[in-house]
Amino acid sequence: DLWWKNAVIYCLDVQTFADSDGDGVGDFNGLTERVDYLAGLGVTCVWLMPFYCTADLDDGYDISDHYAIDPRLGTFGDFTEFMTVATDRGLRVIADLVVNHTSDQHRWFQQARQSRDSEFRDFYVWQDSVPDSGPTGVVFPGKQEAVWTYDTSAGQYYLHRFYRHQPDLNVAEERVRDEIRKMIGFWMAQGLSGFRVDAVPFFLETAGIDQAMELAPHDYLRDLRAFVDRRRGDAALLGEVNLPAEQQREFFGDEDGDELNMLFDFLGMQATYLALARGLATPVADSLRNRPDVPDESAFASFLRNHDELTLDKLTDRERQEVFDAFGPDPDMQIYGRGLRRRLPPMFGGHPHRIRMSFSLMFSMPGAPSLFYGEEIGMGENLNIEGRLAVRTPMQWDAGPVAGFTSAPADALTRPVPEGDYSPDRVNVASQRMDETSLLNWFERLIRLRKELPEVGWGACQVLDVDDEILALRFDWEGRRLVTVHNFSGHKATARFAIEDASRLDDLFGTAKPAAVRKQTARVELPAYGYRWLRLVS
Ligand code: TEU
């Protein structure tokens, strides 16, 4: 019942997935019509990006009403229809929980800024002058000037770790914590299986807040998790925690894992790009060895891309430059001095083996894989779109000029589809359905395989000793024994590694003959960017 240990997560934004009413904006009815596509692909959990009422200056991450659905996306009834169909098809649904801040249009902030006597004043973080202690460093360099902004009608500065239109909530205020609990309870009552918790370290941070917090921030996270478990025993919290390895562990909680059920593996993701840029597996092997121990019932979520920039903030400057040089040399592809606003296939020049190897690798990382919509067909970005939004273009369903996303004309789209090699006529679901060798059909098989191999989520994972170009992982769980092998280099390579308890290795994801084990050594031949999933046979 610990479904998140082996979930296949699929992140999408209702706004860009499918438009049913021809206004150029995706909606819940459009999504509902595509639930069978998702179920057929085999994903097990849909992560919905924010669909709440919003001022829409940060693509929905600036919520103005947590209890209402953005009217462009549909009604509450439409949402419930979607939940009903998704549940019927066996899909779990989680949604973004954005509680570090609200939109400045939220009625709490609007009232708070009117007067110091407002009952909502303490919902936010105010100071008469910018304090010396307190958070420093903006999240969006170049787009955000400060973390404190003076509000003339409030007559004070308010804290905002993100854009100035996203005032931070005051986590030290008990009424704020109560409101957050209520929101969680409300959305779980609508059928959600949990949340992707936005910006967790920022949300828990108390620097800059004068008000004393009666409980430690991690006790608060523990309290939230206990609340979630009380309301719905099978719900999970998947946190966005992009921190160094030594700080990650704390967010899982105590030995039994009583805080976040899952953490995104930001470090493994960054190491993967460095490894791919170098053609050497060592950064990934090192990152796996440095991973904190995960409590039995918790898990990492692996990913290669998400809706934000591909952040490389945890690499050294030289390492980051290596990745920039390899995958995003044009300054227009880079953002905030730390990341790339690209999708994976164009970064790899569309190289089909490299693309498949990367996703095979991601699916073989200990933990649960998380996909970003369109990855299953190899969508590219549109750099003509501003900032991070370049990767958030409409889902490409068919070869038409609007990608089958809408019945509206192309100029009604809020975000234009990519042109050139990644335009809908080159990359779309309809044509890949017809082609047995397509990426889409390959993904279906990869997902089926991954679901049949729970040892990847549950098992003990060992990094085997092989040449630097190759990553070989062994998983052991309840008598099941699996080895995955990935070649990071653009030439043939042979993986030789010790196997003492098998006579051969059977290929589970391909047509290769079984690999022989002789003198307790396995020998696996790999083409350039080759990958193998191998079952140990005695
Ligand atoms: O992102 C928060 C966040 O911490 C990242 O932007 C981080 O700064 C980046 O990965 C570099 O480490 C979340 C959402 O994912 C993003 O879309 C929102 O804009 C942001 O919160 C504000 O809600």
Q: In tens digits, what is the pLDDT along the chain, a chain of 538 residues? A: 999 999 999 999 999 999 999 999 999 999 999 999 999 999 999 999 999 999 999 999 999 999 999 999 999 999 999 999 999 999 999 999 999 999 999 999 999 999 999 999 999 999 999 999 889 889 999 999 999 999 999 999 999 999 999 999 999 999 999 999 999 999 999 999 999 999 999 999 999 999 999 999 999 999 999 999 999 999 999 999 999 999 999 999 999 999 999 999 999 999 999 999 999 999 999 999 999 999 999 999 999 999 999 999 999 999 999 999 999 999 999 999 999 999 999 999 999 999 999 999 999 999 999 999 999 999 999 999 999 999 999 999 999 999 999 999 999 998 999 999 999 999 999 999 999 999 999 999 999 999 999 999 999 999 999 999 999 999 999 999 999 999 999 999 999 999 999 999 999 998 889 999 999 999 999 999 999 999 999 9
Instruction: Report how far residue 509's alpha carbon sits from residue 260's, in angstroms, rounded to the nearest whole number.
Output: 33
Measured from the Cα of 307, ligand 1's closest atom is: 17
Asked if 28 and 52 touch (Cβ cutoff 8 Å), the reply is no
Instruction: Report how far residue 531's alpha carbon sits from residue 508's, in angstroms, rounded to the nearest whole number.
Output: 11
Question: What is the predicted pLDDT for the residue at 136?
Answer: 85
Measured from the Cα of 338, ligand 1's closest atom is: 11
CA of residue 387 to ligand 1 center, whole Å: 13
Mutate to test the pocket of ligand 1, among 13, 54, 59, 61 (most ligand atoms within 8 A of CB): 61
Task: Give Cβ neighbours of residue 242 (< 8 Å, ≥ 6 apart).
Answer: 201, 264, 266, 311, 313, 314
Question: What is the predicted pLDDT for the residue at 470?
Answer: 98
Residue located nearest, by CA, to atom 5 of ligand 1: 199
- CA Rg value for the chain: 23
Task: Identify the three-state secondary structure at position 107.
Answer: helix
Rounded to 5°, the CA angle 372-93-382 comes to: 20
Instruction: Report how far residue 178's alpha carbon sits from residue 185's, in angstroms, rounded to the nearest whole number.
Output: 11
Task: Calculate the dihedral angle through the C-alpha atoms of 268, 271, 275, 276, rounding to the nearest 10 degrees.
Answer: 70
Catalytic residue (choose from 59, 122, 198, 259): 198
Question: What is the predicted pLDDT for the residue at 511?
Answer: 84
Cα separations in angstroms, 234 against 75, 91, 178, 195: 27, 13, 22, 12
313 Cβ inside 6 Å of ligand 1: yes
Question: What is the predicted pLDDT for the residue at 22?
Answer: 97
Asked if 447 and 41 touch (Cβ cutoff 8 Å), the reply is yes
Instruction: Report how far residue 511's alpha carbon sits from residue 471's, in angstroms, rounded to the nearest whole number.
Output: 20
62 Cβ inside 6 Å of ligand 1: no
Question: What is the predicted pLDDT for the residue at 510?
Answer: 87
Residue (of 83, 287, 258) closest to 187 by Cα position: 83
Cα separations in angstroms, 290 against 20, 265, 286, 318: 46, 12, 6, 20
244 Cβ inside 6 Å of ligand 1: no
Asked if 499 and 470 touch (Cβ cutoff 8 Å), the reply is no
Question: What is the predicted pLDDT for the residue at 40?
Answer: 98
Instruction: Give start and end residues of each alpha helix (H) in 313-454.
Output: 317-327, 344-347, 352-363, 429-433, 439-451
Rounded to 5°, the CA angle 205-95-460 comes to: 80
- Catalytic-residue membership of 256: no
Question: What is the predicted pLDDT for the residue at 224?
Answer: 98
308 Cβ inside 6 Å of ligand 1: yes
CA of residue 312 to ligand 1 center, whole Å: 13
Cα separations in angstroms, 478 against 9, 366, 390, 449, 502: 25, 16, 44, 18, 16
Asked if 76 and 69 touch (Cβ cutoff 8 Å), the reply is yes
Residue located nearest, by CA, to atom 9 of ligand 1: 311
83 Cβ inside 6 Å of ligand 1: no
- Catalytic-residue membership of 205: no
CA of residue 199 to ligand 1 center, whole Å: 6
Task: Give Cβ neighbours of residue 165 (< 8 Å, ≥ 6 apart).
Answer: 55, 57, 58, 62, 103, 104, 105
Measured from the Cα of 339, ligand 1's closest atom is: 11
Question: What is the predicted pLDDT for the residue at 133?
Answer: 86
CA of residue 311 to ligand 1 center, whole Å: 10
Instruction: Report how far residue 374's alpha carbon sits from residue 395's, in angstroms, rounded to the nearest whole number.
Output: 6
103 Cβ inside 6 Å of ligand 1: no
Find the largest Cα–Cα distance for the chain: 79
Question: What is the predicted pLDDT for the residue at 385?
Answer: 98
Mutate to test the pocket of ligand 1, among 54, 240, 305, 315 (most ligand atoms within 8 A of CB): 240
